[in-house]
Structure formats: C-alpha cells, structure tokens
C-alpha cells in the first residue's frame, strides 16, 4: 500500500507540476508570438487575443495531463489500463456516431480561434442556422462553446456548431453612426458646420480624446420627406466605445441645434 500510494502521489505531483509549469510558460510564449502574428493590430486586440488563447490552451493542456495521469495510476488500483484503453476505442467509435455535433462544435471552435473571429471582451451578435440570434459580450470561450452576456444580464451558451454568422462589433475599431432628423428648410451647409464643430470640440475634450479616433462629422443626407430631412452623422471610436460616445454626441448636438434654432421638422 505504501509503495502504490507513493507512486500515485508521485504521478499526481508530477501532473500538477506539469500543469503549473506549462501554465506559466504559455502566456509568455503567446505574448511573443501573437504580437508578431497580428502585426499592426491595436494593442487592445492583441491583449484580448493573448488572454483568450491562454485560457483555452491552459484548460486543454490541463485536461490532457489529467487524463494521462488517470491512466497512469489505474494499474495501482489493480486496473489493467491496456484493455480498458482498447475498450474505450471500441466504445468511442460507437459513441462517435452519436457525438457528431460535439465534433462539429470543436472543429468550428478551432476555426473561430485560429481565425481570431472574436475574443473575450468583444461584443458580438451570433445568428444560428435556424435564424435565431443573440448579442452580448463574450465572457468565455473554449473549443466547444461561447458564453455571451447581453445588456439585460442574461447569459447565453452557444455551441459553435450552431453558429451560422458571427458579427464582431468591437474588432479593431467601432463606429458611432446615426441619422439626425431636422426640418427640411434647414440650411444644409450651416447644419454640416454645426455638426463638424461639435465633433471637433468633442475630440479636443480630454475626456473623449482617447475614446474618439476620428471626429464625428456629417456624412450626407440619408433621407428626405415632406417636412424633414435626415443627415447621417458618423465617427470612429475605440473598440466598444461607440455607445457612450454616441450618447454624448447626441447630447451635445441637441444643445448645439437648440442654440442655433434648428428644429426637428417644418410645421405642417
């Protein structure tokens, strides 16, 4: 018993040491390889990529080492691991026919990770092959599934094999864009000037200097009706900052338009 117990403890100790050592090595290695691979990508994208791959690789390695350690210590309990492994192989073939969805999940997960479609912290919209869709912040991702939390706090678990289209709203940069409705009789040139002035003031504000990459501006007339017109307002922000930047931009535009006496529509 002492001899077998010693061997079991040795295997477990070696497994834990291996998991610990590899866990300490993976992040520095990825920290060197990923920036070279991603080239001129923003630092925030590089960091998200490193964090996501580090977590996935560490968990995968820990699982593999745990399985190897289990197989190694089985003989100490009188279990012949050889026939057991062979039996698992036969059972695995049978189970494989019923586990095709799991295999598809893993393969799609590998594709998502290798192509860097999205990472932890990204805000994404995912549509399934059946037409259903869900949006939220990526809280976790592994080889088989992605976990999203939406703005209401609900957590969604999506199997990778069910993903048809994944839209990343915070990759590289984000864009604040909306239509501003004003009276049709408004002087367009003056309106463009007001919008440009508000955008310039906002990007020169220290609070928003690090948030905005390009000053918001008038991009053109998006729509016309009998009493109003809609002007497209656009600006480029840091990833994920488009919502709060858009809220502040709308607030400033409202105050500026009121000061200029520009109305939302002509009277009938």
> How far is 181 from 224, CA to CA, in rounded Å?
9
- pTM of the full structure: 0.65
Q: What integer best gives the mean pLDDT of the chain?
A: 83
> Are 12 and 93 found together in one domain?
yes
Which of 42, 63, 98 represents a domain boundary (last residue)? 98
Contact predicate 142/98, CB 8 Å: no
Contact predicate 169/246, CB 8 Å: no
> Are 43 and 22 found together in one domain?
yes
Contact predicate 263/182, CB 8 Å: yes
pLDDT tens column, 159-214: 888 888 899 988 888 899 999 999 888 889 999 999 999 999 999 999 998 899 99
> How far is 215 from 209, CA to CA, in rounded Å?
9
Instruction: Residue 196: give its domain's CATH number.
Output: 3.30.70.100
Q: Strand, coil or helix: what is 244?
A: helix
Domain range enclosing 142: 119-168
Closest CA to 67 of 56, 59, 57, 77: 59
> Are 212 and 248 found together in one domain?
yes
Q: Is residue 105 part of a domain?
A: no
> How far is 42 from 120, CA to CA, in rounded Å?
15
């Amino acid at each position: 018993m002492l001899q077998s117990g010693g061997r079991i403890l040795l295997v477990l100790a070696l497994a834990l040491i291996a998991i610990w050592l590899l866990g300490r090595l993976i992040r520095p290695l990825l920290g060197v390889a990923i920036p070279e691979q991603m080239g001129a990508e923003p630092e925030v994208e590089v960091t998200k990529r490193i964090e996501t791959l580090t977590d996935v690789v560490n968990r995968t390695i820990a699982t593999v080492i745990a399985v190897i350690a289990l197989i190694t210590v089985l003989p100490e309990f009188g279990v012949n691991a050889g026939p057991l492994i062979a039996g698992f192989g036969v059972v695995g073939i049978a189970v494989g026919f019923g586990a095709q969805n799991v295999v598809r999940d893993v393969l799609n997960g590998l594709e998502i990770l290798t192509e860097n479609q999205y990472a932890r912290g990204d805000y994404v919209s995912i549509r399934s092959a059946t037409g259903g869709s869900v949006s939220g912040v990526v809280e976790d991702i592994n080889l088989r599934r992605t976990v999203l939390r939406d703005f209401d706090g609900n957590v969604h678990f999506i199997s990778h094999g069910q993903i048809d289209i994944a839209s990343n709203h915070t990759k590289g940069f984000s864009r604040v864009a909306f239509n501003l409705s004003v009276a049709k009789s408004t002087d367009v040139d003056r309106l463009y000037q007001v919008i440009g002035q508000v955008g310039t003031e906002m990007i020169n504000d220290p609070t928003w200097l690090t948030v905005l990459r390009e000053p918001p501006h008038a991009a053109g007339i998006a729509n016309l009706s009998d009493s109003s017109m809609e002007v497209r307002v656009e600006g480029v922000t840091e990833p994920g900052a488009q919502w709060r930047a858009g809220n502040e931009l709308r607030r400033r535009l409202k105050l500026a338009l009121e000061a200029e006496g520009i109305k939302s529509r002509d009277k009938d």
